[in-house]
Amino acid sequence: MASASSISSYYLHNLCSNILQRDPNSKPRKNITTLNKIRTFPLLHRPPICSSRWEGRDSSTFNIFASVASADIELDETVEKVQLPKGDTWSIHKFGGTCVGTSERIRNVADIIVKDGSERKLVVVSAMSKVTDMMYALIFKAQSRDDSYISTLDAVLEKHKSTALDLLEGDGLSSFLSRLHQDIGNLKAMLRAIYIAGHATESFSDFVVGHGELWSAQLLSSVVQKNGLDCKCMDTRDVLVVNPTSSNQVDPDFLESGKRLEKWYSENPSNMIVATGFIASTPQNIPTTLKRDGSDFSAAIMGALFRARQVTIWTDVDGVYSADPRKVSEAVILKTLSYQEAWEMSYFGANVLHPRTIIPVMTYDIPIVIRNIFNLSAPGTMICQSIGSEDENGQRLESPVKGFATIDNLALVNVEGTGMAGVPGTASAIFSAVKDVGANVIMISQASSEHSVCFAVPENEVKAVSSALESRFRQALDAGRLSQIAVISNCSILATVGQKMASTPGVSASLFSALAKANINIRAIAQGCSEYNVTVVVNREDCIRALRAVHSRFYLSRTTIAMGIIGPGLIGGALLDQLRDQAAVLKEKFNIELRVMGITGSRTMLLSDVGIDLSKWRDLQMEKGEKADMQKFVQRVHGNHFIPNTVIVDCTADSYVASRYYDWLRQGIHVITPNKKANSGPLEQYLKLRALQRQSYTHYFYEATVGAGLPIIKTLQGLLETGDKILRIEGIFSGTLSYIFNNFVGTRAFSDVVKEAKEAGYTEPDPRDDLSGTDVARKVIILARESGLKLELSDIPVQSLVPEPLKASASAEEFMQQLPKFDQDLTKRRQEAEAAGDVLRYVGVVDVINQKGIVELRRYKKEHPFAQLTGSDNIIAFTTQRYEKQPLIVRGPGAGAEVTAGGVFSDILRLASYLGAPS
Ligand code: ADP
Ligand code: ASP
Ligand code: MG
């Protein structure tokens, strides 16, 4: 009978010859003598560690060093054959790397196994976390002739040694350590060989990297035994047989594996088996692996071989989330997934499950449950045959969209040309060229005419693909039948997965509109006939934003908006306080979540990645404020990819800030403002801004630029949109001037009323800013333009109430001192008006019919609505075709921080409802 060690000697010998016959193009061999020494390394001739029979062998141990048994090794006749009991009595558990990452965690896993009530269990275990990476690094370093592989190997040894010292004692410990040292010694020799050769074959690396699983399985089984359970340790290279396929994958040979399992079990009968994940053998008994993250696959194959009741995959998250929880913080746990949905999710990048895990269990209808080892109270996700998706009334039980996943580092290849249309075999020629270079096509999209075929391949394969296509289609390109073979680099795939999704009307529309609203450009689309998946290709830098946008469309019922507030002065400050007070109600009642990610003044700014605590934004701004920088501010507020929508609220009166709106809108940032500068600035800029607003899904709202919180713009737009014709807009647009003329009733001089208004805080610090009428003129121009007139501010004649000689006064104080000297003129006008039963009012007028605007002091009859005002109210009268005899009047307080902030707030909510918030 062949002993395990003689097989491993044979195998190692094979590996070494492999190196000697390596690729002639690789780096020259350094030292043949050393290599010869390695070929005759004493370990290769060491005496057998144990026999392949289970009797007489410490049941916890097995030959770590490549104990690859051959199927054709005859069983010792004297051993009584034990039949493998298959079926429901078995349950399979798989513990991922993080579950066995430390000695404490291994103890915890052992505890779970011991407590599991199943009659028979097989536990598949991954390498301790990071170990497989370290093992791959060993190979990489050695073949790059980087000496530091030695220290990495020392670290691997140290990690396992200290874990063992923590977990084991007595014989268990010494036997583990002696094997560990032996393995490390062997690995050192092999890595030295790789170092000298500057090359490692695939089978050589597979052999090296698989040690992580050998050690963790050994450790875990020893701990389970220490807990008093009879437990056998299975080196799955003795059982699992797989055939390599062309695309860096392997296909299990279930028949042969089944035979080997029977044999293994007859030698190691037990109700409790700890098996290595990840590793297997080829039919020639060469150790191999199931490729990265393959332990899930190991568990599924075992599930199928044992016809187990269930496969439980233990990991570090509560189950399968609707999206990668590291990218989408709002992702939710999915209770159930069908096999197909799970497959689609994992194929498109949800690495919580290896995509190949599904097939073996699906064959026997074995459910998979994903559970969190760190949260035993979470029930996890059940993956099984699809569960009926409708209740007895025919109502759909769950959303047709289940989850989203992404793959980065892709390139799109676009083969285009009119000569392709209707020519049979074009697609086949394209993909056979791609197959010849061994590239993996992840998705394909083709216009029905074959005029253009476009497909995604991994970025690192695209060069080979495009040259293969160019040479294959040289003639067609030269003849112009093909116009181009274009490569679009830096792409990502975003897959939306859900049973029957594609057959539910409206799903794709919601998906694409969510992407449009987040201003994301789609490069290609594919929807398989399977109805499980709609795949879009986007630019890589947009990928996370796209993922969050679609996820929030289907999962976040609340509309989440990232906000940047510019100008936390009177209005901005009042807005922040209103947001603070209203946030909870908005979230609860309307599912709207507003997160202020940045506040900037002209000197300092405050930024946050998750949202500023508005209950103390003033203190935070003082403590944590940094130097204001508009570019950085916008980048941080908008760059925050977990929130799909961004709005900048400009609460300044600054022209520079207003000049940035166009760029922000172009970047997909919504803009809301009470600042009049953009809409009353140069006409050309205004028209450009409005045109952009109309073309895009990005919104620009400015209700508070006229009449503070009063619905003036909204009313005007409502009239226009419903087809009314505006004839004239006339109103008292200045709260200050309203106050002044409402109180200028003959009891006091005009200058006294101005003084009183200034003292009561109704005027600007310099009252000339109000009395000049420019502010009213800006409001007039905004309304004129909104009504379709193409006027510049300079086209509006403005009657200034600042006496000509005082326009040049140095200061506000000086102006106030001098003003009484000029009272006479206005006193006279007031008396004349009064004598005729009139009052004076300072108004702005948009004369749409004559395409003019004006700002001036006018007389109104005492019965006129304008004469009835009190305080600082605004009043605006719209005379239209529908409201011709009786104008439509909007009246109310039109100035002050609170009401202006209220107007801005109402624009923010309007934005939220445009973005899909419930009404
Ligand atoms: P293990 O080592 O246990 O096999 P993995 O790292 O392979 O664990 O897989 C678990 C990880 O998969 C989670 O920590 C999570 O970050 C990531 N992941 C990606 N997409 C998803 C998803 N949709 N649901 C759950 N986890 C996901
Ligand atoms: N240890 C292997 C890896 O990290 C297999 C696994 O954990 O699934 O790829
Ligand atoms: Mg995994």
At 593-608, the pLDDT tens digits run 899 999 999 999 999 9
Confidence of residue 55 (pLDDT cuts 50, 70, 90): very low
Phi, psi of 33 (to 5 degrees): -60, -45
Q: CA–CA separation, 704 vs 651, rounded Å?
A: 10
Q: Which of 322-331, 525-534, 807-816 has the lowest mean pLDDT?
A: 525-534
Please report the pLDDT score of residue 426 as a whole number.
80
Average pLDDT value over all residues in the chain: 87
Average pLDDT over residues 86-97: 95
User: Hey, which bits of 549-610 come out as E strands?
Assistant: 559-566, 592-600, 604-607
Q: CA–CA separation, 774 vs 803, rounded Å?
A: 15
- Check if 327 is active-site: no
Please report the pLDDT score of residue 107 as a whole number.
96
Are 607 and 626 in contact, with CB atoms under 8 Å apart? yes
For 168, the token pair is 């084991």
Structure confidence by residue, pLDDT tens digits, 205-223 = 999 999 999 999 999 999 9
Are 518 and 545 in contact, with CB atoms under 8 Å apart? yes
For 76, the token pair is 């010792």
414 to 417, 448, 484, 632: CA distances (angstroms): 10, 14, 8, 36
**Which of the two residues, 601 and 61, has the higher pLDDT score?**
601
Average pLDDT over residues 691-702: 91
The answer to whether residue 40 scores a pLDDT higher than 50 is no
The answer to whether residue 18 scores a pLDDT higher than 50 is no
Test site for ligand 2: of 138, 293, 302, most ligand atoms within 8 A of the Cβ: 293
Confidence of residue 232 (pLDDT cuts 50, 70, 90): very high
Please report the pLDDT score of residue 77 as a whole number.
47
Active-site residue, from 94, 517, 758, 779? 779
Query: Within 10 Å of residue 650's Cβ, how many Cβ atoms?
Result: 25
Q: CA–CA separation, 777 vs 845, rounded Å?
A: 9
> Whose structure tokens read 């699983």?
213
Of 596, 652, 646, 654, the residue nearest 620 (C-alpha):
596
**Which of the two residues, 298 and 429, has the higher pLDDT score?**
298
Average pLDDT over residues 806-813: 91
Q: Which of 100-104, 409-413, 554-558, 822-826 has the lowest mean pLDDT?
A: 554-558
Confidence of residue 23 (pLDDT cuts 50, 70, 90): very low
Residues forming beta bridges with residue 368, ordered by sequence position: 311, 383
Confidence of residue 329 (pLDDT cuts 50, 70, 90): confident
Are 93 and 123 in contact, with CB atoms under 8 Å apart? yes
Are 467 and 420 in contact, with CB atoms under 8 Å apart? no
pTM for the model stands at: 0.65
In terms of Cβ atoms closer than 10 Å to its own Cβ (0-12, 13-18, 19+), residue 72 is exposed
For 2, the token pair is 């062949």
The answer to whether residue 34 scores a pLDDT higher than 60 is no
Which ligand is in closest contact with the Cα of 98?
1
The answer to whether residue 61 scores a pLDDT higher than 70 is no
210 in helix, strand or coil? coil
Please report the pLDDT score of residue 678 as a whole number.
97
Q: CA–CA separation, 305 vs 321, rounded Å?
A: 29
Average pLDDT over residues 704-728: 96
Residue 296 Cα to ligand 3 midpoint, Å, equals 6
CB contact set of 862 (below 8 Å; sequence gap of 6+)? 837, 838, 839
Ligand 1 pocket, residues with Cβ under 6 angstroms: 96-98, 126, 293, 315-317, 320-321, 323-326, 350-352, 403
Which ligand is in closest contact with the Cα of 214?
2
Confidence of residue 556 (pLDDT cuts 50, 70, 90): low
CB contact set of 472 (below 8 Å; sequence gap of 6+)? 429, 430, 433
Residues in the chain: 919
List, as one string, the DSSP characters of 724-759.
--EEEEEEE--HHHHHHHHH-SSSS-HHHHHHHHHH
Q: CA–CA separation, 422 vs 68, rounded Å?
A: 54
The helix or strand, by DSSP H or E, that contains position 771, with its residue range, turns out to be helix 768-771
293 CA closest ligand 1 atom index: 7
Structure confidence by residue, pLDDT tens digits, 668-687 = 999 999 999 999 999 999 99
- Give, using CA atoms, the residue closest to atom 6 of ligand 1: 352
- Give, using CA atoms, the residue closest to atom 6 of ligand 2: 293
CB contact set of 268 (below 8 Å; sequence gap of 6+)? 54, 59, 232, 234
Structure confidence by residue, pLDDT tens digits, 625-662 = 999 999 999 999 997 655 778 999 999 999 999 999 99
Q: CA–CA separation, 223 vs 184, rounded Å?
A: 22
CB contact set of 394 (below 8 Å; sequence gap of 6+)? none
Are 250 and 288 in contact, with CB atoms under 8 Å apart? yes
Ligand 2 pocket, residues with Cβ under 6 angstroms: 96-97, 126-127, 132, 212, 277-278, 292-296
For 294, the token pair is 């393959």
CB contact set of 828 (below 8 Å; sequence gap of 6+)? none
Q: Which of 198-202, 333-337, 586-590, 815-819 has the lowest mean pLDDT?
A: 586-590
Test site for ligand 1: of 93, 128, 315, 335, most ligand atoms within 8 A of the Cβ: 315
Please report the pLDDT score of residue 80 as a whole number.
57
Test site for ligand 2: of 95, 125, 126, 240, most ligand atoms within 8 A of the Cβ: 126
User: Hey, which bits of 788-901 come out as E strands?
Assistant: 838-847, 852-861, 873-880, 888-893
β-strand 381-384 against 368-372: which pairing, if any? antiparallel
Are 141 and 152 in contact, with CB atoms under 8 Å apart? yes
The answer to whether residue 56 scores a pLDDT higher than 60 is no
Residue 316 Cα to ligand 1 midpoint, Å, equals 7
Average pLDDT over residues 80-93: 88
- Give, using CA atoms, the residue closest to atom 17 of ligand 1: 352
Q: CA–CA separation, 496 vs 519, rounded Å?
A: 18
The answer to whether residue 444 scores a pLDDT higher than 50 is yes
Q: Which of 169-173, 243-247, 792-796 has the lowest mean pLDDT?
A: 243-247
Instruction: Tell me the Cα Rg of the chain.
Output: 38
Q: Which of 143-157, 482-496, 555-569 has the lowest mean pLDDT?
A: 555-569
553 in helix, strand or coil? helix
Please report the pLDDT score of residue 424 as a whole number.
73
Average pLDDT over residues 498-519: 82
Residue 463 Cα to ligand 2 midpoint, Å, equals 29
**Which of the two residues, 247 and 853, has the higher pLDDT score?**
853
Return the half-sphere exposure (C-beta side, CA atoms, 13 A cut-off) of residue 765.
1
For 624, the token pair is 């944590």
Please report the pLDDT score of residue 44 as a whole number.
27
Please report the pLDDT score of residue 409 as a whole number.
94
Amino acid at 144: S
Residue 126 Cα to ligand 2 midpoint, Å, equals 6
290 CA closest ligand 2 atom index: 5
Residue 856 Cα to ligand 1 midpoint, Å, equals 69
Are 482 and 423 in contact, with CB atoms under 8 Å apart? no
Structure confidence by residue, pLDDT tens digits, 839-849 = 999 999 999 99
The answer to whether residue 247 scores a pLDDT higher than 80 is no
User: Hey, which bits of 179-335 come out as E strands?
Assistant: 232-234, 242-244, 250-252, 272-276, 279-281, 287-289, 310-315
Percent of the chain with pLDDT over 70: 87
For 751, the token pair is 């200058």
- Give, using CA atoms, the residue closest to atom 25 of ligand 1: 320
The answer to whether residue 852 scores a pLDDT higher than 60 is yes
- Give, using CA atoms, the residue closest to atom 5 of ligand 1: 352
Report the first-to-last Cα separation within the chain, whole angstroms: 79
Confidence of residue 51 (pLDDT cuts 50, 70, 90): very low
